[in-house]
Amino acid sequence: MTSRVIDLSHPIVDGMLVYPGDPAVHVSSALSLEGDGVAVTSLRMGSHTGTHIDAPSHTVAGGRTLGAVSLDELVGDALVVRMPGLAPREVYGWERLSAAASIPDRVPPIVAIDTGWAQCFGSSRALEHPALGADAARELVARGMRILAVDTLSPDPTGSSSDFPVHDVVLGADGLIVENLCGLDAVPDRVRMGFFPLRLDGDGAPVRAVGFVE
């Protein structure tokens, strides 16, 4: 049976929402068919624009850069945990997470959390997203998670402090974080996912995130 490919990525557009303090996104025409014979677009943006992946070096001194991450690590089975009804800036820990879904003792390498806040992307409300508790991140890592994927600007609270406890847990364990997913309502709770970044040896990169649905 052929899989359907579900796009889980926000489009990159001029002036789009970025994490506070990150470089602004500029998309403009550099060359045109009329004047130059070819169309070429100029892109200016940070490495954590839109739907993107964080390498350990994003927050961990001496951590792996994206160039050291193999494509095999970026495709695998995923568990999608649905967390509807979270309040703005609510921090939900392991107790709340495990009450919302049946989480096995051994989880697949990718755990994606669907809070429903992807619909707020592009608005100021996106900055008030709920956040995962560090205790929940530690438990998921202990159960085998290698990639934490979220539909919010960050698994940590945005703008409230300079602390990133979930980043410290996941990236500190040499795992990876994918932020700003969308379209998770179109995939089942168990699904195969892939995250395909630019081949950029740095702290992160935009990705085309997809779900493979039978």
| pLDDT per position as a tens digit, 146-192 | 999 999 999 999 987 779 999 999 999 999 999 999 999 999 999 99
Which pLDDT score is estimated for 162? Answer: 78
Judge: domain 4-9+47-213, CATH 3.40.640.10.
no
Kindly report, residue by residue over 197-211, the tens digit of the pLDDT: 999 999 999 999 999
Mean pLDDT of 53-63: 97
Q: Which two tokens stand for residue 57?
A: 């070096």
At residue 165's C-alpha, the angle toward residues 97 and 16, to 5°, is 85
Q: How far is CA 30 from CA 12, 20, 41, in A?
A: 17, 27, 5
Q: Which residues contact 92 (CB under 8 A, 6 or more apart)?
A: 83, 86, 130, 131, 132, 133, 136
Q: Which two tokens stand for residue 107?
A: 């989880």
Parallel, antiparallel or unpaired: strands 110-114 and 75-82: parallel
Q: How far is CA 187 from CA 33, 35, 131, 154, 169, in A?
A: 39, 44, 22, 21, 27
Neighbouring-strand partners of residue 149: 112, 178
Q: Which residues contact 125 (CB under 8 A, 6 or more apart)?
A: 88
Q: Residue 5: is its pLDDT beyond 80? A: yes
Q: Residue 88: is its pLDDT beyond 90? A: yes
For the chain, which residues make up each domain, given as ranges? 4-9+47-213
Q: Considering just the CA atoms, what is the radius of gyration of the chain in Å?
A: 17
Q: Residue 1: is its pLDDT beyond 70? A: no
